[in-house]
Chain A
Amino acid sequence: MNYNWNWHIFLEPNPMGTGTYLDMLLAGLVVTVKVSVLAWIIALVSGTVIGVLRTLPSRTASWIGFCWVEFFRNMPLLVQLFLWFFVLPELLPKSAGLWMKQLPNAPFWTAAVGVGLFMSARVAVQLQAGIGSLPRGQKQASTALGLTTVQTYRYVLLPMAFRIILPPLTSEFLNTIKNSAVAITIGLIELTGQARSMQEFSFQVFEAFTAATVLYLLLNFVVVTAMRFLERYVAIPGYITGK
């Protein structure tokens, strides 16, 4: 293989005039972090609502939950991003479609919402399983004390269910970060996007993607470590999964 390794490339100025190639990659990392965190917040909030709906006795509620989950988890993420970015603006009334297309930073917002909704289906299913794993008597005991359904979820069921599903939720957070790379296809210049443009400008493809790999690994390592601390922080003394 005739390849000219050059690890000094990161310190050379990039052709955009925004500093070095390393600066370019770091700028991409910042976008990745921003879009992932926003997507994760959307996934957690809507996933929680949908997960709760799926555990309610009401048929309408569980039907809404069912439709949401099956819609968002049965389509490839790539297709979903294309739908939100290219198709939706055309389907909306003209003024709304135009507003979407002219949105500053449209790829960013589309990616955050698109990845967030995609991940929300997974959060919902896990939360449903977490709530389902609690003894039935917990809900009965809470109801018997006079707590309303909302209070029962808020003070009794959800605090336990989230503790139980914390380890798989960590994986989902990591998946959110990794899935954000799909946003390159709708023109978001995040970490993968910056690695690609570095490759195109400098022809140092191995260096560019090695750096991107290391940055993804580091980012996910930070998340894993933070979640470990969170798990330990919310552990319940004496409780079996709290160890």
Chain B
Amino acid sequence: MIEINHVNKWYGPSFQALKDCTTSVAKGEVVVVCGPSGSGKSTLIKCVNALEPIQGGDIVLDGIKVNDPKTDLPKLRSRVGMVFQHFELFPHLRIIDNLCLAQEKVLGRKHDDAVVTAMKLLDRVGLKDHAKKFPAELSGGQQQRVAIARALAMNPIAMLFDEPTSALDPEMISEVLDVMVDLAREGMTMMVVTHEMGFANKVADRVIFMDRGEIVEDAKKADFFGTPRSDRAQKFLSKILQH
């Protein structure tokens, strides 16, 4: 579903953010990407739907080359859901309109159909009663669940999560993770940048560990949490699992 082949990316002439990264996410697979800050994990996931350009290598999404200038990027992006650290709901639109905007403007759905889809998804994330509110009237956890619903409204073939719980108060993390666990169990293809090792342990098929722009470890979940092969990953895990 997502193939990342020898991807290189620079910011400016001197800083290399991604170094020869190669990995893949199969259909229905859940892959967790972790690593210390500045390791390039967010950059990597943003390259998958070309929010960030790459300077070397290839990214292929459902058979379509992302970094081909001829690719219709808006169309391709509309098929991949993305959830951001800071939710990024559109503050001037009601929750329902946040969910309908892209359905109507990108997919060309009729307003009534878009509303039906939107309400179904809001119900699913437990926020049907908040449809008429504005984003600023919801808590962080609620906003992030709306953001997930907004991405799902496009009927994506895969979902990208960029640190979806990092900006949340601890008590709100689980309500968002619950939604994500359900999604994973339903067979959604997911690539998740997160430090929530509990989540990784529960639903991930594979775990990718990145450091300084490189993929240091790319292993099945059991192997990763059992005996990571790299020292760096072992140190990282010992630090974040300590408490």
Residues of A within 8 A of B (CB): 135, 137-138, 140-148, 151, 155-156, 159-160, 163, 236-240, 242
Q: CA separation between A135 and B91, bound complex, in Å?
A: 11
B49 touches A (CB below 8 Å): yes
Task: Provide the residues of chain B in CB contact with A145, threshold 8 Å.
Answer: 77-78, 82, 101-102, 106, 150-151, 154
Closest chain A residue to B85, Cβ basis:
A137
Q: Nearest residue in B to A239 (C-beta to C-beta)?
A: B136
CA distance A233 to B165 in the complex (A): 34
> Is B209 on the interface with A (CB-CB < 8 A)?
no
Chain B residues closer than 8 Å to A143, beta-carbon distance? 51, 74, 77
Question: Could you say which residues of chain B place their CB within 8 Å of the CB of A135?
Answer: 86, 88
> Beta-carbon contacts of B95-107 to A below 8 Å, as 1s and 0s?
0000001100111
* Interface residues in chain B, defined as those with a beta carbon under 8 Å from any beta carbon in chain A: 46, 49, 51, 74-82, 84-86, 88-92, 101-102, 105-107, 133-137, 147, 150-151, 154
A185 to chain B, nearest CB (A): 42
Q: Chain A interface mostly helix, strand, loop or mixed?
A: helix
Closest-CB distance, B148 to chain A (whole angstroms): 12
B78's contact among A146, A155, A237, by CB below 8 Å, is which?
Answer: A146
Whole-angstrom CA separation of A143 from B77 in the bound complex: 8
Q: How far is the CB of A146 from chain B (nearest CB, A)?
A: 3
* Residues on the B chain within 8 Å of A148, using CB: 74
Q: Which residue of the partner chain, among A137, A146, A239, A240, contacts B106 with CB atoms under 8 Å?
A: A146
Contacts of B81 in A (CB 8 A): 144
Q: How far is the CB of A160 from chain B (nearest CB, A)?
A: 6
Docked-complex contact A144 and B134, CB < 8 angstroms:
no
Distance from A181 Cβ to chain B, minimum over Cβ atoms (Å): 36
Q: Are A146 and B102 in contact (CB under 8 A)?
A: yes
Contact assessment for A237 and B77 in the assembled complex, using a CB-CB cutoff below 8 Å? no
* Contact across chains for A141 and B74 when beta carbons are under 8 A apart: no
Whole-angstrom distance between the alpha carbons of A159 and B85 in the complex? Answer: 23
In the assembly, what is the distance between CA of A156 and CA of B102, in Å? 11
